[in-house]
Amino acid sequence: MTRERIDYTDVLLPYKNMQSSGTALLPKSVYEQNKVSMLAMNFRGPYRIRVDRNKPEPKIEHPYDAIVRVTRSLICGSDLHLYHGLVPDTRIGTTFGHEFTGVVVEVGSGVQKLKVGDHVLVPFNIACGTCPFCSQELYGNCHESNPEATAVGGFFGYAHISGGYDGGQAEYVRVPYADVSPMVIPEGLDIEDAVLLTDVVPTGYQAAEMAGIRKGDTVVVFGAGPVGIMAARCAWLFGAGRVIIIDRLEYRLEFAKQYSYCEAYNFTEMDDPVLFLKKQTDWLGADVCIDAVGCEASGSALQTITGKKLLLQAGAATALHWAINSVKKGGIVSVVGVYGPPFNLVPLGSALNKGITMRGNQASVKRLLPRLIDHVMAGRLNPKGLITHRVPLEEVSDAYHLFSAKLDNCIKPLLIPPKANAA
Amino acid sequence: MATKTEKEQAPMGDRNIADMPKDYIPGWGIDADPENDPTYPMKKWNGADHERLNYPKAPQQDTDVEILKSIERPVVTRVFGSTVPPSGLSGMLRRKAFKYSEGTSAHWMGLILADRINMVEGLIDDLSKGYIPNFFKEWGWPAEWKYNRKKFVQKAAIGTAVTLAAIWLLKKSAKKSR
Ligand SMILES: NC(=O)c1ccc[n+]([C@@H]2O[C@H](COP(=O)([O-])OP(=O)(O)OC[C@H]3O[C@@H](n4cnc5c(N)ncnc54)[C@H](O)[C@@H]3O)[C@@H](O)[C@H]2O)c1
Ligand SMILES: [Zn+2]
Ligand SMILES: [Zn+2]
């Protein structure tokens, strides 16, 4: 139940007093003498992050908590929205990271299933398991894990809009409701596959699932980032007849073609992507469109200026706009790209006139895990194939910049903390 | 010359590809589910919604840090994150923003404004502790240098030019005012 370490209640006292000043650094002496600080990513403002030792190791704050020593963590397209300063209530000093695996080092008095020493994959959703939403398997929409916003579930390392939890781009993380979502990594499952199962695989899969694909359907996926690539790959599992992916980055389109067995087109080479897709689909429109881009889309000056520069809307809804306009009448638009809470410019008139069904959600990771692990073990999905960069946690600022600026053909960067392999 | 029908103008790859066997794709069609009707929410309906707030709840987490709560719920959630509580001027703005519901711009715009102010507070905080942030590193420019050198040089050149111009202008105005 307990691990070998110093009782740091006294040590933390000065820290608590300093918390009134918010971003307080622990006095150097505190962490050097007592060794309770940990290495963690530290947000300093848009495009500015560093890794430092300004945070104490997390402690059990609730009987259902566990503390996990991180073994791998990933940077997600969602983290880029935080990194770019687009998510409200992203406080200076926050540690990001919602995709991680780790070893349990301590559990609260109420934890029954998880044990110290278990190597777990931790879904990005923090879920209580008993609220009306969790009890109906909507684990991405828990009602008891985020006091700050009722419209958003609790997520790790995703600012205070998602509950104010520190994330996994650190040495240790506090994992609430430890018996609900976290799962012991099954024997034979590669750790790199496991860490991708905490978000990208379920999100891509759910994008295809929400699209209600029928055998033979033509599926258009907007965005060839990790999520879009996985969505395209998963569309086949549902029997798609044809899968088309759209992006502006040539290297990602090339990657997607190979990895997802799909057709890939560059929208910067088209006058009008909607018209192009209409032509591609016998002038009827795609059966299904998936938005795997979200609020930082490029491709429309109007959307970019109003959404990304002036913040008059919650990011640029370009991909969603294209999706609604390129889907057939009575078609389905599935949205996993993330948008900000206030509002966006989307062609609702067309959605209504065409009788479109639109569906979106944060992936319900726990619900999908058993099926997806099966797919990975059987070789039907190869998540770790998405990882292009393996970077020490100490170089987190470079990794963010690389992923954000799409340098060195980056698809998905993996972070490895120095204590990843500690016994 | 006969005009082409619309059908003929469309690239016809579509049908052929759609009808092709998909043996080369591992697991093709394995999860196809004719019952998956997207007009219903994807959940296991059990009537819990109608029980309203009478669901089993975890014990209440305690804390001595300030947690801001959405006014769209009666009490805080049983469990919550306690990192970086609101502080300073940005904290005051955040408290104010949380007086409005999640449906209002006042709430979200207030928070964005607070975030920008918090950034300056963070810098002051660093400096007041004698810590001078290494912007070059924090921006991830070593990666830019390594993988995007052309752009890096460009940016650096512009940066230097702007700084030099600023110094020159300052000097000039200083001379004038003398
Ligand atoms: N719903 C969920 O549970 C969930 C989970 C994870 C990620 N996400 C969201 O999914 C989105 C994608 O994530 P990612 O990790 O793949 O990010 P990413 O930034 O790596 O990928 C986005 C891609 O979209 C491309 N793009 C930009 N504008 C486009 C346009 N108009 N049309 C087509 N493509 C365009 C970009 O070039 C980029 O390759 C993000 O918004 C992320 O927040 C949602
Ligand atoms: Zn993610
Ligand atoms: Zn719940």
Question: Residue A203: CB within 6 Å of ligand 1?
Answer: yes
Residue A7 predicted with pLDDT over 60: no
Say which residue, A9 or A80, is predicted with more confidence.
Answer: A80
Ligand 1 neighbourhood includes A321 CB (under 6 angstroms): no
What six digits make up the tokens of A100? 């991680």
CATH code of the domain covering residue A43:
3.90.180.10
**Residues A166, A307: one domain?**
no
Do A110 and A188 lie in one domain? The reply is yes
A181 part of a folded domain: yes
**Which atom of ligand 1 lies closest to the CA of A411?**
20
For B43, other C-beta atoms within 10 Å of its C-beta total: 18
Total domains in chain A come to 2
Tell me if A4 is assigned to some domain. Answer: no
pLDDT single digits (tens) A385-422: 999 999 999 999 999 999 999 999 999 999 999 988 87
Give per-residue pLDDT as tens, A345-382.
Answer: 999 999 999 999 999 999 999 999 999 999 999 999 99
- Ligand 2: centre distance to CA A201 (Å): 10
Please tell me whether residues A236 and A195 are part of one structural domain: no
State whether A194 and A254 are in the same domain.
no
CATH number (domain holding residue A211): 3.40.50.720
Pair (A157, A72) in one structural domain: yes
Mutating to test ligand 1, I would choose from A74, A227, A252 the residue with most ligand atoms within 8 A of its C-beta, which is A227
Residues with pLDDT less than 70, chain B: 1-21, 36-42, 176-178
A101-136 pLDDT, tens digit each:
999 999 999 999 999 999 999 999 999 999 999 999
**Hey, what are A157's tokens?**
């390392």
Does the beta-carbon distance from B83 to A94 stay under 8 Å?
yes
Atom of ligand 1 at shortest range from CA of A318: 31
Whether A220 contacts A244, CB under 8 Å: yes
Amino acid at A134: C
Q: Is residue A422 part of a domain?
A: no
Is there a single domain that holds both residue A244 and residue A393?
Answer: no
CA separation for the pair A224, A195 (Å, rounded): 20
What per-residue confidence (pLDDT) applies to B177?
Answer: 62
- A418 and B CB contact within 8 Å: no
Is residue A400 less than 8 Å (CB to CB) from chain B?
yes
Q: For residue range A230-281, list pLDDT tens digits in order.
A: 999 999 999 999 999 999 999 999 999 999 999 999 999 999 999 999 999 9
A304 and A371 share one domain: no
Tokens of A258: 């190979």
Dihedral sign of CA atoms B61, B62, B63, B68 in order:
positive
Q: Which residue has the higher pLDDT, A50 or B161?
A: A50
Average pLDDT on A34-43 reads 84
Q: Based on the domain organization, do A55 and A71 belong to the same domain?
A: yes
Instruction: Provide the pLDDT for residue B172.
Output: 81
What is the share, in percent, of chain A residues with pLDDT greater than 70?
91
> Same structural domain for residues A213 and A107?
no
pTM for the full predicted model: 0.88
Quick: pLDDT tens for A250-264: 999 999 999 999 999
- Asked whether residue A3 is assigned to any structural domain, the reply reads no
* Domain identity same for A255 and A390: no
Strands A125-126 and A48-56: what pairing?
unpaired
Mapping DSSP to helix (H, G, I), strand (E, B) and coil, where does residue A414 land? strand
Look at residue A30 in the predicted model and tell me its pLDDT: 46
Tell me the per-residue pLDDT of A395-405, one tens digit each, with 9 for 90 and over: 999 999 999 99
DSSP state of A308: I
A96 and A38 fall within a common domain: yes
Average pLDDT score, chain A: 91
Supply the DSSP string of A331-358, one letter for each residue.
EEEEE-S---SS-----HHHHHHTT-EE
Q: Are A232 and A319 within one domain? A: yes
Residue A297 domain flag: yes
Contact between residue B95 and residue B113 where contact means Cβ atoms under 8 Å apart: no
Tell me the per-residue pLDDT of A165-183, one tens digit each, with 9 for 90 and over: 999 999 999 999 999 999 9
Number of CB atoms found within 10 A of residue A388's CB: 17
- Provide the domain limits for residue A236: 204-360
Q: Name which of A92, A145, A216 is nearest B121 (Cβ-Cβ).
A: A92
A77 lines ligand 1 (CB under 6 A): yes
The confidence score (pLDDT) of residue B128 equals 94
Domain boundaries, chain B: 134-178
Would you say the CB of residue A162 lies under 6 angstroms from ligand 1?
no
Q: Does residue A85 carry a pLDDT above 70?
A: yes
pLDDT for B38? 59
**Residue range A140-152: mean pLDDT, rounded:** 97
With cut-offs at 50, 70 and 90, classify the pLDDT of residue A341: confident
Sequence letter at residue A83? Y
